[in-house]
Amino acid sequence: MKILKISTKNFNKVVKEAARFIKEGKIIICPTDTVYGLIADAKNEKAVRRIFKIKKREIKKPLPIFVKDFKMAQKIVKTDERKMAFLRKIWPGKVTAILKAKNKKLSKGIIKDGKIGLRIQKHKFLVKLLKILNRPLAQTSANISGNPTPIDIKGILNQFKNKKFQPDFIIDSGKLSKKPSIVLDLTEESPKILRK
């Protein structure tokens, strides 16, 4: 498990290193605009399965994804003008939207009942990483299922040390929030809040 503290001086170097790990099918923990996240290539079935093993997450609970921009989102999910107008109000931001899948080429651990949870977030690290990779990223909070979400690397290491399955690369960005994103189901006529 490699750990790097990110700063303004080494920012570009760390992002490039994270991109290399993702391309190799590895799992990283990095800062997001909410909590620390476990991240992998959403199109790499093996990498996505590893997130489930690392987190000890039930396979029936699909992983949401991060997308680079609205163009990428529209390739993955079905939208109309009304939904797009709504998404433009909430993204980039701390809201995961569940929509009907258009692109079925993503890992099985991401699509459930023909639906995908996705968002465009605004943390500069992930904005840059998504720009470099130009592919969706599977993501979930960096904790063991059922445990509290750590706000710093010390808390993350306490949860994952001595475990059989571990992330490959951790990016330390100091203390973050412990509040995850809001989750909205947009598959029906009116939005439904699934998590506040």
Relative to beta strand 37-41, strand 28-30 is antiparallel
Residue 89 and residue 85: Cα distance in Å, rounded?
Answer: 7
DSSP letter (8 states) at residue 141: E
Range from 73-77, 86-90, 100-104 carrying the lowest mean pLDDT: 100-104
pLDDT at residue 149, as a whole number: 94
Strand partners of residue 139: 39
Helix (H) or strand (E) holding 125: helix 124-133
Q: How far is CA 129 from CA 123, 148, 159, in A?
A: 10, 26, 25
CA max distance for the chain: 49
| Choice between 13 and 192, residue whose per-residue pLDDT is larger | 13
Mean pLDDT for all residues in the chain: 95
Burial class (CB in 10 A: 0-12, 13-18, 19+), 91: buried
Residue carrying structure tokens 């809201």: 95
Tokens of 100: 């009907």
Q: Is the Cβ–Cβ distance between 44 and 107 less than 8 Å?
A: yes
Residue type, 123: H
Q: Which CATH architecture has domain 2-195?
A: Alpha-Beta Complex (3.90)
**Is residue 104 predicted with pLDDT exceeding 90?**
no
Mean pLDDT of 134-160: 96
pLDDT at residue 179, as a whole number: 87
Q: How far is CA 172 from CA 66, 151, 175, in A?
A: 20, 11, 9
Cα 96 from chain centre:
10
| Choice between 88 and 194, residue whose per-residue pLDDT is larger | 88
Give me Rg for the CA atoms of the chain. Answer: 16
**Is residue 196 predicted with pLDDT exceeding 80?**
no
